[in-house]
Amino acid sequence: MNAIKDKLALITGGASGIGRLVALGLAERGARVVAWDIDEGALERISHEAAKLKLPIAAMRCDVSDRAEVYRQAAKVRELFGRVDILVNNAGIVSGRKLLDTPDEKIERTMAVNVLAQFWTLKAFLPAMIEKGEGHVVTIASAAGLVGVTGLADYSASKFASVGLDEALRMELRKQRSRVRTTIVCPFFIDTGLFAGVKTRFPLLLPILKPEAVALKIVGAIARGKKRVVTPPFVYSVYLLRLLPVRALDAVADFFGISSSMDDFKGRTHE
């Protein structure tokens, strides 16, 4: 499936940040969009924005960390709008603290939102895609899912899990000869407010990314059926760096400022 027009797309965390921009981008290309979010203020804002722009975006509150709520709202989506063709697992949160400074509840919340929620949405919407013989699952991971980052232990772990989930799912679908496609997205830090205060030592190689540019890449990948989006291109070097001895890998991470990028992290003022 390489078309977006007239497809039904569901985006978790779809009322703000990258999720909002992807929702707008898909709707502008002719998709019908359902934006799930827990932030009722953001849901209200995207509803007004969609109405002003005359875009088919329906905003629905859903706490994706709550399995029962995901299944309940998924049934409502099917009843109101039909089968989901494009699932964008985008919802995510950041604790932004060193491991021993992160409360247990924060770690559990990070895993519930960033990882487990993807299993619930997949179980809710993937069977119909497989039965239909077409569909697209997009997983918004992170460059922190390719290399561990100081101050992001729980977040990195969740994004490593997302990368593994996408890869295993892709293998399963391929073995089933299913035409359902998958896309993994691994960007460097994005200037959405979620990572307010992060820094980069070499902005030409590892710039803090503009959300509009990342959203455009994601929408383009959905349109073309691209399996992997890694941005900026320098992040691809991580795959080669993993061939180095651990001490050398750590030294490279220190040199490029990966180990100190979170030193001045502030994050959003609310989750």
Q: Where are the domains of the chain?
A: 8-260
**Residues 100-133: pLDDT tens digits?**
999 999 999 999 999 999 999 999 999 999 999 9
Helix residue spans in 35-182 (DSSP H): 40-53, 67-81, 104-111, 117-132, 153-175
Beta strand 136-140 pairing with 181-187: parallel
Provide the pLDDT for residue 231: 96
**Residues 182-222: pLDDT tens digits?**
999 999 999 987 887 788 888 899 999 999 999 999 999 99
Provide the pLDDT for residue 270: 47
Average pLDDT for the chain: 94
CATH top class, domain 8-260: alpha beta
**DSSP assignment string, 129-149:** HHHHT--EEEEE--GGGTS--
- Give, rounded to a whole angstrom, the gap between the first and last alpha carbons of the chain: 35
Question: Quick check: is 155 catalytic?
Answer: yes
| Residue 122 identity | L
Burial classification of residue 80, based on how many CB atoms lie within 10 Å of its CB (0-12 exposed, 13-18 middle, 19 or more buried)? exposed
**Residues 36-66: pLDDT tens digits?**
999 999 999 999 999 999 999 999 999 999 9
**Residues 76-108: pLDDT tens digits?**
999 999 999 999 999 999 998 999 999 999 999
* Model confidence band, residue 268 (pLDDT cutoffs 50, 70, 90): low
